[in-house]
Structure 1
Amino acid sequence: MTLQATPLNAAHRAAGARMVDFGGWDMPVNYGSQIEEHHAVRNDCGMFDVSHMCVVDLQGANARAFLRALVANNVDKLQIPGKALYSCMLNADGFVIDDLIIYFFSENWFRLVVNAGTAEKDIAWIAAQNDKTGSGLVITQRRSGPGALALIAVQGPNARAKVWQVLPQTRAASEALQPFNAVVVAGTPFGEVMLARTGYTGEDGFELAFPAAQAEALWNALLAAGVKPAGLGARDTLRLEAGMNLYGQDMDETVNPLDAGLAWTIDLVSERDFTGKAALLAKGQQAQFLGLILREKGGVLRAHQKVATAHGQGEITSGTFSPTMQQAIALARLPLGVAVGDTVQVEIRDKQLAATVVKLPFVRHGKVLVS
């Protein structure tokens, strides 16, 4: 099978990146030292090619009404242009088709950013709902074709300053931008740029969407400004420290989002109906999503390891060795009776090793929040 490539593929290879198959995409896992890339984002500034993710523009007079029924979070929270909302898109059984970010630019234009591996499935689902409801929306994917956009995430305490150094034309419009807001700026040397104060690392920064034809030029300009390239390896350890879910690992079409720590993204309070709401109300929450810190030597926490608790068995969904904390950490789905501070036993290669249950996240804005 031929792997799909982002517009930055040649730049990654020229930089000596170690490339891997990531859900059918040829992506950099690191550029030498995953640990150095991780620390660069926590302490200074790093950048990720996230062009494999897919921007989907929804345009039309019925866009808001359509999204009210499509996603579990309430798009009526989006009243100010540029405001963003994180949500799950559920099937009728209340399971997660995908998690995504919705940006509101006008009543006729909402922008979604969906995951790489689910993009085709997502667009087909959205199109089917558009037809079913007669909403008449124009659905445009921006990952390929004439209007293709590249996506670069610049993350870290110095990320915004570095972006302004490379894109001074954007500073006035984005300096006062609050987290989870975006602005579109025209007239830069790299074309029209959307700057979103969002990310997947637990650090500040921007996610940039701009014409794919300018991808290498902007990447190289950021490189020249001292922004360190970072690959999928560092992206995973950073997001795990930040307690952020990964689709396909921490939740998918077999998982109730209430059991995946995503209740905060689901509006069950308002009278608004949405696909999957009835199923969620019928099932309720059956497990909880918490962090684990391994307390004994002899192993690393990994996905699918079983967790024995006084209230029954749980399971790790994502695990790693934390470069910031220098400890093995994990995200886990645990029985409802388990409490923060409890000691549980993780099954690692036929051994039972003690771990402490902690509240997520582990790390945010460079600070360790658990012990």
Structure 2
Amino acid sequence: MSDALKRTPLADVHVAAGARMVDFGGWDMPVNYGSQIEEHHAVRRAAGIFDVSHMLNVDVEGPDATAFLRLLVANDVSRLTSPGRALYSCMLNPQGGVIDDLIIYFFTSTQWRLVVNAGTADKDIAWMQRVATSKKFDVKVTPRRDLAMVAVQGPQAREKVWAARPAWRASTESLIPFSAAILPDAMVARTGYTGEDGFEIVVPADQVAKLWHDLVAQSVQPCGLGARDTLRLEAGMNLYGQDMDELIHPNQAGLTWTVSLKDTDRRFIGRDAIEQFADPKVFIGLQLLERGVMRAHMAVRCAQGMGEVTSGTMSPTLGYSIGFARLPQGVTVGDTVEIDIRGKWVPARVCKLPFVRNGQPVQHG
């Protein structure tokens, strides 16, 4: 391992468990603990735990916190009025490109928490500080590297968490999706990146190893980045840097639903560019019809022209390759297109997302 790689508070736990560690955006992270396929199925059938402490919790506090966030992100945080409620949004540049996708939690009108991606954390903080300073917002942006985060996902995930932490049950049992319980020693959110039910749990960094061990003792399967990627792909969830980036508008990545244009007076950063942009591509799913595996950047040949795979993998749940693609306007669900896989054009069916919902395949015809 390079000395330059960052390590989460759970890094030694992963190594002791025999995880295969890889460089993931400058972080030393587990890709699997033996069988990526078994880890994937554990999440779909029971419960798995992921170290997501490389992602950054950011506290935004101050009298202007709400106004600052209404300018900063494309979704409208004023919709959140109950403590713990959350929404998913994109933070855009003035050209409408995605600086990052993130989850925002409401604590009070002057206290919020953002969870941003690991690979974009430094530029995210710099951008937030720049916006706050240039617009003279009375707001403080605080990166919280003193916190750690794990995701416990799967149909049995919540019961396993309550078995490991019985005191949390009363505060978290009635949580609806995209809401969190703000506890003295933790933030427990009913969110995730797998398409399954479960919690994402934020605790002080010095408490996360015990939480991890206690959950593993409840037969929760440790899972690495490999299973996380196949799970999110099946669930139709984008990966920053692959399905979108600073050159891609939200509507080019299937994220129009994360942009709120209802309040015409809310001129969030990037709004003008989005309103003026005519998108020549559609973002949609692909199911490979023959043997092979789709990967990012593979060319797609359609009757309407050329497109590109943005993410692709072999689906452990479905047994065939699935992917996301940006394709020419006019391509519709049910069409057959062709993917260039190592010089061979392989047929694929265009389909809606997601591919798997609540552990079950979604029928695409």
Judge same fold: TM > 0.5, yes or no. yes
Figure out how many residues of one structure are paired with residues of the other and give that number: 361
Partner of 1:189: none
Partner of 1:125: 127
Pick from 112, 115, 118 the counterpart of residue 114 of structure 2: 112
Partner of 1:328: 321
Q: Per-residue CA shift, 1:247-275, capped at 9, x if unaligned?
A: 00000011121110000001123211100
Letter of the 2:158 partner, please give it.
Answer: R
Residues in 1 aligned to 2:281 and 2:87: alpha-carbon distance in whole angstroms: 25
Partner of 1:166: 164
Report whether the alignment pairs 1:289 with 2:283: yes
Partner of 1:362: 355
Residues in 2 aligned to 1:44 and 1:68: alpha-carbon distance in whole angstroms: 38
Pick from 261, 271, 281 the counterpart of residue 277 of structure 1: 271
In structure 2, runs of 5+ residues without a counterpart are: none
Residues in 1 aligned to 2:141 and 2:252: alpha-carbon distance in whole angstroms: 31
Letter of the 1:273 partner, please give it.
Answer: R
Q: Percent identity?
A: 60
**Deviation of 1:184 (Å):** 1.1
Q: Per-residue CA shift, 1:291-327, capped at 9, x if unaligned?
A: 1000022x21110001111111110000000000001
Q: How does 1:84-233 map to 2 (within 5 A)?
A: 84-143=86-145, 148-186=146-184, 192-233=185-226
Residues in 2 aligned to 1:296 and 1:15: alpha-carbon distance in whole angstroms: 37
Structure 2 counterpart SS, 1:172 = helix
Q: Per-residue CA shift, 1:126-160, capped at 9, x if unaligned?
A: 011110111121111012xxxx1110000000000
Q: Per-residue CA shift, 1:15-52, capped at 9, x if unaligned?
A: 00000000000000000000000000000000000000
Residues in 2 aligned to 1:286 and 1:196: alpha-carbon distance in whole angstroms: 37
Cα contact 1:68–1:274 (8 A) shared by 2: yes
Residues in 1 aligned to 2:204 and 2:249: alpha-carbon distance in whole angstroms: 36
Residues in 2 aligned to 1:86 and 1:37: alpha-carbon distance in whole angstroms: 26
Structure 1 counterpart SS, 2:229 = helix
Residues in 2 aligned to 1:284 and 1:153: alpha-carbon distance in whole angstroms: 37
Residues in 2 aligned to 1:84 and 1:202: alpha-carbon distance in whole angstroms: 17
Letter of the 1:318 partner, please give it.
Answer: S
Residues in 2 aligned to 1:182 and 1:312: alpha-carbon distance in whole angstroms: 45
**Deviation of 1:119 (Å):** 0.3
Structure 2 counterpart SS, 1:245 = coil
Report whether the alignment pairs 1:267 with 2:265: no
Letter of the 1:112 partner, please give it.
Answer: L
**Deviation of 1:286 (Å):** 2.6
**Deviation of 1:358 (Å):** 0.4
**Deviation of 1:287 (Å):** 1.4
Letter of the 1:171 partner, please give it.
Answer: R
**Deviation of 1:284 (Å):** 3.1
Deviation above 4 Å: which 4+ runs of structure 1?
none
Letter of the 1:119 partner, please give it.
Answer: A
State the TM-score, normalized to the length of structure 1.
0.96
Cα contact 1:47–1:229 (8 A) shared by 2: yes
Structure 1 counterpart SS, 2:127 = helix
Letter of the 1:152 partner, please give it.
Answer: V
**Deviation of 1:288 (Å):** 1.3
Partner of 1:247: 240
Residues in 2 aligned to 1:99 and 1:136: alpha-carbon distance in whole angstroms: 24
Structure 1 counterpart SS, 2:183 = strand
Cα contact 1:96–1:251 (8 A) shared by 2: yes
Cα contact 1:313–1:334 (8 A) shared by 2: yes
State the TM-score, normalized to the length of structure 2.
0.98
In structure 1, runs of 5+ residues without a counterpart are: 187-191
